[in-house]
Structure 1
Amino acid sequence: MRASISTPFVDTRAEDLVWTLNHPLVEPLAARTVERPGLRVQLRVLGASHQVVVERESGNGTAPLVETVACLPGFTGGLPGDAVLPSWGLGDYRFTSTVETLAANGLSRRIDRLRAEVADSPGGLYVTFPGDPLAVTALHLAPESPLGWRTWHAYPQSGELVSTAATITP
């Protein structure tokens, strides 16, 4: 799903991003809900950041998983390269992140590939911001098991592309 939003792109840097699993829900600028057997996954763009919410359809007392990667006031930035939380309510959760610095033409090529991969995918959410065609946040829910998703946050002013991947293995 492609979405163009009217909210202007706010300059930030990859090093300002924080990863957390306990931040309250934030009103998204764009969202897409994808149903999986027994699960509801909501992909949410918060600007140059995201939340992924995973919850059981039946509820059954299991708290939803809320992955947030965002610039959060009062938190020191820095994403973990790798984090594992065994036996999270829905299964074992693993998170990885990388930050690449690319020249403008390299970033442009990567954004073109992202658009082709994510924008029209049944599990994709691709958001562009006004003012710079390279200002993009994209999320993609993998179609296969285990449950997993990837995200990309492009910061054209610094040539940075932040990529994250998460999986939940029952």
Structure 2
Amino acid sequence: MLASISVPFVDTSAADLVWTLDHPLVEPLATRSVGAHGPRTELRVLGASHQVVVESPAGALVETVACLPGVDGRLPAATERSVAAGGYRFRSTVETLPPGELRRRVDRLRDQVADAPGGLLVSFPGDRLAVTALHLTRGDGGPLSWRTWHAYPQSGELVSTASTVTIP
């Protein structure tokens, strides 16, 4: 799903991002709910950041990757947790790309995520490379997985995350 919003892109950088599993819900700019086969999951774009909410009979999981006022940036390269909803894994990478490569990667995201089942891509006005994208997948009876991408064209950064929750 490609979402058009009127909120302008606000400069930030990967160094400002915080990962947490205990931040309260934030009013999203765009959402996509998925849950026909498995736990209800909501993909939420907050700006150049995201929340993914997974609701299962065992409990809820709220993953937040965002710039949080008053909290120093700390995006882990990898972490694992045991949470009420099940086993959880997270990993992230930050790449600094030349303008042409960032453009190619954002174009590929538009092609792969915008129309995909379980996909949500938000493009911000003012810079076509300023995007936040999320893509949720679930194999037959397997874990629930999602990937996210946050593009910061002013610094040439592309932040990618991959998360998996194994629900009992």
TM-score range, shorter chain: over 0.9
**Number of positions where the alignment pairs a residue of Structure 1 with one of Structure 2:** 165
In the alignment, what sits opposite 1:112? 107
Gap runs ≥5 in structure 1: none
Query: How do 1:1-170 and structure 2 match up within 5 A?
Result: 1-56=1-56, 60=57, 62-86=58-82, 88-144=83-139, 145-170=142-167
Q: Deviations over 1:1-39 (max 9, x none)?
A: 001110000000000000000100001000000014341
SS at match of 1:109: helix
1:115 and 1:37 map into 2 onto residues whose CA distance is: 25
Equivalent AA in structure 2 for residue 147 of structure 1: L
TM-score using structure 1 length = 0.94
C-alpha contact 1:139 1:151 (8 A) present in aligned 2: yes
C-alpha contact 1:123 1:143 (8 A) present in aligned 2: no
2:4 and 2:102 map into 1 onto residues whose CA distance is: 19
Q: Deviations over 1:130-151 (max 9, x none)?
A: 0000000000001423100000
Shift of 1:97: 0.3
1:150 and 1:106 map into 2 onto residues whose CA distance is: 20
Shift of 1:63: 3.4
C-alpha contact 1:51 1:69 (8 A) present in aligned 2: yes
Identity across matched positions, percent? 68
Equivalent AA in structure 2 for residue 89 of structure 1: A
SS at match of 2:59: coil
1:92 and 1:63 map into 2 onto residues whose CA distance is: 12
RMSD: 1.0
Equivalent AA in structure 1 for residue 65 of structure 2: V
SS at match of 1:64: strand
Equivalent AA in structure 2 for residue 7 of structure 1: V
SS at match of 1:79: coil
SS at match of 1:113: helix
1:114 and 1:37 map into 2 onto residues whose CA distance is: 25
Deviating above 2 A after TM superposition, structure 1's stretches of 4 or more consecutive aligned residues are: none
